[in-house]
Amino acid sequence: MPLHVLKLLSADEFRSGEEISRVLAVSRASVHNAVARAREMGVDIQAVTGRGYRLARHYDWLDDPALAREVARLGYALEVLDEVDSTNTRLLARVPSGGEHRAVLAAEMQTGGRGRRGRTWHSRLGGGLTFSVLWRFQRPLTALSGLSLAVGLALARALAMHGGRDVRLKWPNDVLLEGGKAAGILIETQGDVLNGATAVIGIGVNVRDSRELREQVDQAMAALMPGMDGELARGRVLLDILSAMDDILSRFDVEGFAPFREEWQDRMAWRGEEVSVEYTNQTRLIGVLAGVDPSGLLLLRTPEGLMPVHSGEVSLRRRP
């Protein structure tokens, strides 16, 4: 509901509560409540008696027919939901019932955004991109190793087009901008060892920075734009990511991760530095980040030799 109301508001002129309630065929009280909830979510709405409501800044909502057309030109089908628990959860539920290859489900708001290792993915309304892409591969589940790295590379290529800042990949697939995490990837797969696998590739990107988001996130973070007022349209970033994914995933399906290894390593964060690989069972492995192998495994140089590390349930920490 708040989004229906918000989408009727503009940053250029006031719109009265009465007019909004008439257009949406809801009570004035519902409009009032929607405005209150939107404010709770961090949206700055000005209210002036006798004139109505106005947004303090412009919002580039994603349910834009022009954006959907451009996405379609890239060979994807875009669906935008105002509010959903998690785009990954929703798209995953469609896999067995014929969810289409290259379906893209984006949400303006996620109430249960999920990250890797059971974490929560936070985003601010209008400040980021939260979407999932359904990809039906020819190759089986057992041949998807390196997929999350390949997707990370697509994100890095796309983000590097904006802002000209140093974009790095933290194994397995965090995208860092000048050291802070700007985007994350959560891949969930279905399939068996014989047939082509299906992946739901969930992507969260911090497009606009905000103090509120920094307060929610418990690690160093970054965003493409310094504040909520940046000119860069989220739709533009979405298109650039989908275009880079098209190039990379089409080739990945035929050749796997190997052809991307060198470019990935060129963008690798902390290469040559000492790190610790932390496992969920509290054990850890310490060594120097040597690179990745042709299937995307992390290569750690330890006193015992070069150790390959699987991504699964591990996280990487830089040693002080």
Closest CA to 77 of 60, 89, 94, 96: 94
116: which DSSP letter? Answer: G
Residue of minimal Cβ distance to ligand BTN: 184
* Contact between residue 224 and residue 241 where contact means Cβ atoms under 8 Å apart: no
Q: Rule CB under 6 A: is residue 186 a binding residue for ligand BTN?
A: yes
Own/partner pairs for 116-123, CB < 8 Å, 24+ apart? 116/184, 116/185, 116/186, 117/280, 117/313, 117/315, 121/184, 121/186, 121/204, 122/213, 122/216, 122/217, 123/204, 123/206, 123/213
Q: Rule CB under 6 A: is residue 119 a binding residue for ligand BTN?
A: yes
Q: Out of 52, 126, 132, 256, which residue is the one contacting ligand BTN (CB under 6 A)? A: 132
With contacts defined by CB under 6 A, how many residues of the chain interact with ligand BTN?
20
Q: Out of 102, 114, 157, 168, which residue is the one contacting ligand BTN (CB under 6 A)? A: 114
Cβ of residue 129: shortest distance to ligand BTN, in angstroms? Answer: 8
Cβ of residue 173: shortest distance to ligand BTN, in angstroms? Answer: 7
Where does this chain touch ligand BTN (CB under 6 A) — which range of 38-46, 152-160, 179-187, 226-234? Answer: 179-187
Q: Out of 2, 184, 287, 296, which residue is the one contacting ligand BTN (CB under 6 A)? A: 184
Q: Rule CB under 6 A: is residue 152 a binding residue for ligand BTN?
A: no
What part of residues 54-113 is at the interface with ligand BTN (CB under 6 A)?
86-88, 110, 113
Place of tokens 């418990």: 218
Closest CA to 158 of 134, 129, 200, 187: 129
Closest CA to 202 of 173, 169, 236, 165: 173
Where does this chain touch ligand BTN (CB under 6 A) — which range of 1-9, 39-47, 200-208, 258-266? Answer: 200-208
Q: Cα–Cα distance between 261 and 156 in angstroms, integer?
A: 14
Binding site for ligand BTN (CB under 6 A): 86-88, 110, 113-116, 119, 121, 130-132, 174, 184-186, 202-204
